[in-house]
Structure 1
Amino acid sequence: MTASTFGLLTDRRVKLGLTFVVAFCSIAYELVYSEFLTVFYGGTVLRYSITIGLYMFSLGVGAFLSPQLGDTESNFLRTEVYLALAGPLGAGLIVGVNAFPAVTFPGKYELGLAVSHVPILVVGLLSGFEIPLLEDLVADRDGGVFGRLGHLPRRGAARVLGVLFAVEPSDNDALSEVLGVDYLGSLAGTVVYALVLYPDHGLVVSVLALGLLNALAALTFAAWTLSDVTRLSRPSAGRWRVLVVVGLLVSGSYAGLVANGQTVDRYVTGSYVEDEITSEYRPGNVDVTVREYRTTAYQRITVYDRNVTAHEGTERCLRLDGAIQLCDSWVDSYHAGLVDVPVSAYENRSSLDVLLVGGGDYVAVDHLRRYDADVDQVDIDGEFLQYAREDPYVRQFNDEAYRYDRLNTTVGDAVEYLRGSERRYDLILLDLPGARSDDALGLYSTEFYRLLRGHLTERGLVATWTYSKYADAEHHAAYVNTVHAAGFDRFAPYDVYEDLDGDGDEERGERFYVLSDGPTPAFDLDRAEGEYVRRHADRIGPVEWRRLPRYRGVEPNSVFDPNYDIVIE
């Protein structure tokens, strides 16, 4: 059997098809690494920028070293087998290096960060070998990838280029074809990763699927080449058989793991999350068991049980990314602080027009329902909204508030929503995740808070939880100056309290700010409908207005001039 048996699948077309596939895998590996690094070290822009830079650098090193490679067919097969192994194993290395948060030693962070970038260099170096090898493989084959049809668009392109450049016919189109298909494969890799692989399958399954695709590309090349053994000058057929066997074992292993992707993802992610949560407590003080883990297009949902030594029994919690959203023991305190305290500033609550930004668990809506307020809610994560409507654990806290007849929920970006609306609100509640990555910069910017001000009525207020100025001083200073630059000059701070460590004494929990650029109504906690505020009124209050401070030498955070101190590492 020869290649001609496959009709239109000419040798050149097969190899250019492989070019597309291997470029697809290589760039997608780097995107997976970038996201893993963001999860472990924060700073989305920083991680992606460094990954791209290291990848391009190592591509250049690979291309520079490629003339040292001998037999083209053998080395291309080796490169693809090595990539099929290195891609997923590199992701495993990043996870492994960061999988033991309780283990500490001097320089651990710096060493872990450096080692976690090694897979970027390895994949980049091997990918740098591909273009020169593929050019050699394609150059000695007749007929372009599109045969005679390829001449027509080339002649048309030559006329267009001739307007600005000096052009002349080329006898060798191998390099241009390989580069063109390689760039096309890279484009496809970035798009498919962003729209399909990551949101639908998560990082673990995605990197395994890429490894499988790389291994299949290696096997396809081996089968195609071995169909005409006269092509082989070296190495011996025995060495080829070894590489093919390795490729078969790798592809078979990856295929089995991908077929059981949900189980694999739960095991790998659950093990890491359990260690991460456990590290937040003193050694031996807590047992953690992950019950559910899933990824939406915007965040990671983790449901887990924790058994704290000083507490009686086990309680269940829900995290969004790394931040706790709900826990059996303190769900009331958080939402009472976010909703009930600021609502107490209004005498006639049934006439309130409220905008809730976030709040996808609908618990804040449940609190607002007690006041008969009109609620517009905007949340970007439609998948989590659906999850909160269906999941029994979350539903026990929201009491099916998504059915509230005075609620209007919009799935979309809060900034775009505000820009497209002229409605003004008496109260805007920000039930948002903390600024834990660059993705949240826009929601903690002067531009966003100016938008909020522009949608307030004359008596309008903005309420939000915030990080402690003692534990996160740099974030607090950047946040306060950002809010001040947006036009808010008064704030009313307060804390809620819970017995967080089970010792019988209540400690200060979440901190909240109510912001104003004009009105400073008195808070009357006796008006609160929730039992929590009434029971803790003496500790929460009195809630009093203060002039918003300003910190010298601290720049506000702007979309176009970001202050990365706003991000909590």
Structure 2
Amino acid sequence: MNKKLPILLLLSVFVVATCGLIYELIAGTLASYLLGDSVTQFSTIIGLYLFSMGIGSWLSKYFEKNILSWFIQIEILVGLVGGFSASILFLIFESIASFRTVLYGLVGLTGILVGLEIPLLMRILQNRFEFKDLVSKVFTFDYIGALLASLIFPLLLIPYLGLVKTAYLFGILNVSVALIVSISFSKEIKGAKYLRNSAVISILILTTGFVYADKITSLSENMTYSDTIIFAKSTPYQRIVLTKKNKVLRLFLNGNLQFSSDDEYRYHEALVHPGLQSLSNIKDVLVLGGGDGLAVREILKYDSVQNITLVDLDHGMTSLFQSNEMLLKLNQKSLLSPIVKVINTDAFSWVKSQKKKFDFIVVDFPDPSNYAVGKLYTNSFYRAMKEILAPQGIMVIQSTSPYVAPKSFWTVNKTLESVDFKTIPYHNYVPSFGEWGYIMAMHPSHTYKKPLTYKSDLKFVSKESVDLMLHFPRDMAKVETEVNKLNNQILVKYFEDEWSNTL
């Protein structure tokens, strides 16, 4: 056997491990984008992938001859299946009912193929190293490759390439290993010319996919969204899509509608003014979430406000609403105001580190559809919020729909009460979303004074509309729920159960 073979195949272990984990991460991320509940999606996909690798390892015992040739063929197949996986899943999501079957089928097939590779490599190398050295070297390269994949996937690949291009890139890497091995050891491999040509053709096909990845993504998203897509970008945290139909802009995060420009004022006026108008001489305001600057736009209507701090995790989100001309017109350049400070960091950690008190706080996070967001609706988070709310201040939280998801809504209310907040729930109708809920929270010593007048330039909020907001009819009446805690995150379960019933 050629002396170059051992080191080349050990490097193959590194590539195999890196590519295999990347395919797994792509499937989990894509599933969480399309199906929601990231914890469930990642858990099931990781479990299935590892189980499938076990099947592949078991099947490897049936490969008795031409093992190096089999390894090359499997490497090519892994590259093709993994490389095309993201494109296939994006394109079929809107067109077939059995999406999960295809998703799990691709994950399972990829896992089986990857599971075959390492045992075959170890058998190829068994005569070159002592057993203890063989195991040490193979698993060292394996684990280093896995570490590399886990680091570059969120930091480099998703922000700069996106899921589809990343899949094609690592498919090309997989097949490139097969090509290099088939060329370097052609004298020791049966059918080397066939394998070499297969690898070259596969690389050309995958490269074509990589070049046209943006068009594939656009095609899949055009099938998903009814309006014309005018902006789409993947950040380390989410997929941002902006659509336009006539003059109406709509923002989607991971496929979920965040606002429609023709009625967002109803949501944001109701979010801000019933609480802020009731306070006097407001100076320091905090906005958590709300990276679109629309809540900040409403807050800037109050001349007494001197400082607005906006904390939003995603720089990609806030920078978009600080630069896009159409969005600047919508938020009236609110995030460019000299009194607005934008901080891109995790709100949970940021709040816990704060000492400053705020007179008014707006909590405008996405709905608690997964555990990463659900932690921002827990009693632990609200306990920390209580420490930074001024004694006579008010905090308002967007709290999903009391009509569609009454358990979710009243869980937020009960969780706030569990840390000794006084609460005032209210709701209003937003055409794009239906009936929507909010909760004002304040220290027990503070008495809410319902405003008698509001800003004259408001389109929706008035004394009469707020009176209606504060009234809950029987079909939205309070229901008993549990407190949302970090160790149970019951709110995420309520939310998933209630909203899934509307589909």
Aligned equivalent of 1:292: 231
Give the corresponding residue for 1:22.
16
Question: Which residue type is aligned with residue 121 of structure 1?
Answer: G
Partner in structure 1 of residue 84 of structure 2: 89
Distance 1:291 1:94 in 2: 22
Sort the Cα spacing of 1:353 and 1:39 in 2 relative to 1 into closer, same or farther, 3 A: same
User: How far did residue 43 of structure 1 move?
Assistant: 1.6
2:286 corresponding residue in structure 1: 355
- Partner of 2:459, secondary structure, is helix
Query: Distance in 1 between the 2:343 and 2:140 partners?
Result: 42
Kept after mapping to 1: 8 A contact 2:83/2:172: no
- 8 Å Cα contact 1:525-1:533 kept in structure 2: no
- The answer to whether structure 1 residue 386 and structure 2 residue 381 are counterparts is no
Cross-structure match for 1:253:
205
- Does 2:429 correspond to 1:434? no
SS at match of 2:356: coil
Q: Does residue 206 of the first structure (1) align with residue 166 of the second (2)?
A: yes
Q: How does 1:132-531 map to 2 (within 5 A)?
A: 132-141=119-128, 173-226=133-186, 229=187, 231-232=188-189, 235=190, 237=191, 240-268=192-220, 270-274=221-225, 278=226, 288-306=227-245, 313=246, 315-346=248-279, 348-349=280-281, 351-372=282-303, 373=305, 374-496=307-429, 509-518=435-444, 519-524=446-451, 526-528=453-455, 530-531=457-458
Residues in 2 aligned to 1:509 and 1:549: alpha-carbon distance in whole angstroms: 13
For residues 2 and 67 of structure 2, the distance between their equivalents in structure 1, rounded to whole angstroms, comes to: 18
Task: Confirm or deny: 8 A CA contact 1:444 1:566 kept in the other structure.
Answer: no
Q: What's the offset of the Cα at 1:492?
A: 3.6
Residue matched to 1:116? 103
Report deviation, 1:387.
Answer: 1.3
Instruction: Tell me the SS of whatever aligns to 1:541.
Output: helix
Superposition RMSD in Å: 2.6
State the 4+ residue runs in structure 1 displaced beyond 6 angstroms: none
Relative distance call for 1:363 and 1:476 in structure 2 (3 A) is closer
Greater Cα radius of gyration, structure 1 or 2: 1
Provide the rounded CA distance (Å) in 1 between the counterparts of 2:335 and 2:410.
Answer: 36
Distance 1:252 1:171 in 2: 38
User: 2:131 and 2:54 mapped to 1: Cα distance?
Assistant: 26
Q: Find the residue that maps to 2:484 and give its secondary structure.
A: coil
TM-score computed with the length of structure 1 as normaliser: 0.80
8 Å Cα contact 2:454/2:463 also seen in 1: no
CA contact (8 A) 1:205 1:265 kept: no
Q: 1:262 Cα deviation (Å)? A: 3.3
Partner of 1:56: 50
Given that residues 401 and 435 in structure 2 are in contact (C-alpha distance below 8 angstroms), is that contact kept between their aligned partners in structure 1?
Answer: no
- Structure 2, unaligned runs of 5 or more: none
Task: Give SS of 2:426's match.
Answer: strand
- Whether the 8 Å contact between 1:344 and 1:525 is mirrored in structure 2 is no
Match of 2:117 in 1: 130
Q: CA deviation at 1:321?
A: 2.4
CA offsets 1:316-345 (integer angstroms, 9 cap, x no match): 222222333332311322221112222111
User: Quick one: distance in 2 between partners of 1:377 and 1:409?
Assistant: 5
Of 13, 23, 44, 2:38 maps to 44
Deviation (angstroms), 1:172: 5.6
Q: Structure 1 unaligned runs (5+)? A: 5-9, 145-169, 279-287, 307-312, 501-506
Instruction: Tell me which amino acid in the other structure corresponds to 1:558.
Output: K
Distance in 2 separating the partners of 1:50 and 1:544: 42
Give the TM-score taking structure 2 as reference length: 0.90
Q: Deviations over 1:4-52 (max 9, x none)?
A: 7xxxxx3211110111001110111011111111122222112112222
CA, structure 1 residues 252+492, in 2 after alignment: closer, same or farther (shift >3 Å)? Answer: same
Q: Evaluate the alpha carbon distance shift between residue 256 and residue 116 of structure 1 in structure 2; reply closer, same or farther with a 3 A threshold.
A: closer
Q: 1:439 to 1:525 in 2, by over 3 A?
A: farther
Cα distance change, pair 388–262 in 1 and its aligned pair in 2 (3 A): same
CA distance in 2, matches of 1:471, 1:222: 59
Counterpart CA distance in 1 for 2:417 and 2:441 is 10
The alpha-carbon deviation at position 567 of structure 1 amounts to 4.0
Question: What letter is aligned with 1:363?
Answer: L
Shift of 1:180: 1.9
How far apart in 1 are the matches of 2:107 and 2:131?
Answer: 36
Alignment partners' CA distance in 1, 2:427 and 2:53? 54
Count of aligned residue pairs for this structure pair: 489
Secondary structure, in 3 states, of the residue corresponding to 1:82? Answer: helix
Distance 2:320 2:26 in 1: 25
Distance 1:459 1:81, change over 3 A: same
Matched ranges for 1:63-78 at <5 A: 63-70=57-64, 71-78=66-73
Distance 2:206 2:99 in 1: 27
The alpha carbon displacement at 1:491 in A equals: 1.3
SS at match of 1:526: coil
Change (3 A) 1:255 1:115: closer
CA shift, 1:566, in A, is 4.8
- Tell me which amino acid in the other structure corresponds to 1:262: D
Deviation of 1:496 (Å): 4.5
Summarize the Cα distance change of 1:426–1:545 in structure 2 as closer, same or farther, 3 Å threshold. Answer: farther
Deviation larger for 377-386 or 87-96: 87-96
Residue 79 of structure 2 aligns to a residue whose secondary structure is helix
